[in-house]
């Protein structure tokens, strides 16, 4: 296992599981510093991704360290930014329904089931912006893939140019992923942000664990 594969197949899942435990334990006393530490961990992950993409964009895009299920769910070699906002709405809806009797009595939980109208408006605007940029990036990736499918480049410089385009689109996708994460949690109160980060970790860890099980069952 090379260094990139070790980071993404071993180190990152372990660190994400550790972060999830920390967030769950500190939920009742959540503060902005805790949320900032979580974001810092994601920043480290994306820096490692950027390094891998610079050294070998094609391999980073193929993500051989991921399971088949994870790769099937990928959008430009990672999670779709808008999926985080969908997850936020889903968690908020579930919690709102369970807390509705208390809310009608004026009892507020302060968690994701208790989003304000101002927060919802800001999240809606972020979703619109994110979706527009996703469409642009998807179009860029389609153009790159079409170019790679053309007759083999006539020179090393032409091949290097095509690979460079792939790297640039992946970097833009990762920038959008991280920016969306930062902006979403910045709109939330600390407890709300912790609940969203835990839900996101649950989804990512669950997808990987089930993917590993599926891959193992095919051996």
pLDDT at 3 over 60: yes
Burial group, residue 59, by CB count within 10 angstroms (0-12, 13-18, 19+): middle
Residue-averaged pLDDT of the chain: 91
pLDDT at 54 over 60: yes
Q: Report yes or no on whether pTM surpasses 0.85.
A: yes
pLDDT in tens, 180-192: 999 999 999 999 9
> Could you tell me if 35 and 185 are in contact, meaning their C-beta atoms sit under 8 angstroms apart?
yes
Query: Which of these, 99, 87, 109, lies nearest to 27 by C-alpha position?
Result: 109
pLDDT score, position 168: 96
Chain-centroid distance of CA 161 in Å reads 28
pLDDT in tens, 156-173: 787 788 889 999 999 999
116-155: string of b/e by CB count within 10 Å (b at 16+)? Answer: eeebeebbeebbeebeebbeebeebbeebeeeeeeeeeee
Where is average pLDDT lowest: 5-19, 125-139, 147-161? 147-161
Question: Maximum Cα–Cα distance for the chain, whole Å?
Answer: 72
Query: Which of these, 65, 61, 58, lies nearest to 160 by C-alpha position?
Result: 58
What percent helix, strand, coil does the chain show, rounded to 5?
Answer: 85, 0, 15
Which residue shows structure tokens 């908020």? 92
pLDDT in tens, 112-122: 988 999 999 99
pLDDT at 110 over 90: no
pLDDT at 129 over 80: yes
pLDDT in tens, 74-102: 999 999 999 999 999 999 999 878 777 65
Query: What is the rounded distance in angstroms from the CA atom of residue 103 to the CA atom of residue 213?
Result: 41
Query: Which of these, 73, 1, 44, 85, lies nearest to 174 by C-alpha position?
Result: 44
> Could you tell me if 17 and 205 are in contact, meaning their C-beta atoms sit under 8 angstroms apart?
yes
Residue 97 gets the label, from left (phi > 0), alpha (psi -120 to 50) or beta, of: alpha
> Could you tell me if 30 and 193 are in contact, meaning their C-beta atoms sit under 8 angstroms apart?
yes
């Amino acid at each position: 296992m090379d260094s990139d594969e070790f980071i993404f197949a071993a180190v990152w899942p372990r660190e994400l599981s550790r972060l999830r435990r920390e967030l769950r334990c500190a939920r009742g006393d959540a503060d902005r510093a805790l949320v900032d530490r979580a974001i810092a961990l994601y920043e480290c992950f994306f820096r490692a991704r950027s390094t891998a993409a610079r050294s070998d964009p094609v391999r980073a895009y193929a993500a051989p360290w991921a399971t088949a299920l994870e790769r099937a769910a990928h959008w430009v070699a990672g999670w779709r930014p808008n999926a985080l906002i969908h997850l936020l709405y889903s968690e908020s809806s579930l919690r709102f329904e369970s807390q509705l009797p208390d809310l009608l009595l004026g009892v507020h939980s302060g968690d994701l089931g208790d989003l304000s109208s101002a927060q919802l408006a800001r999240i809606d605007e972020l979703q619109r912006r994110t979706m527009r940029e996703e469409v642009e990036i998807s179009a860029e990736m389609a153009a790159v893939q079409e170019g790679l499918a053309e007759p083999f480049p006539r020179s090393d410089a032409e091949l290097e140019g095509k690979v460079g385009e792939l790297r640039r689109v992946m970097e833009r996708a990762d920038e959008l992923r991280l920016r969306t994460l930062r902006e979403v949690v910045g709109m939330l109160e600390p407890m709300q942000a912790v609940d969203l980060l835990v839900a996101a970790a649950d989804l990512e860890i669950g997808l990987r664990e089930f993917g590993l099980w599926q891959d193992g069952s095919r051996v």
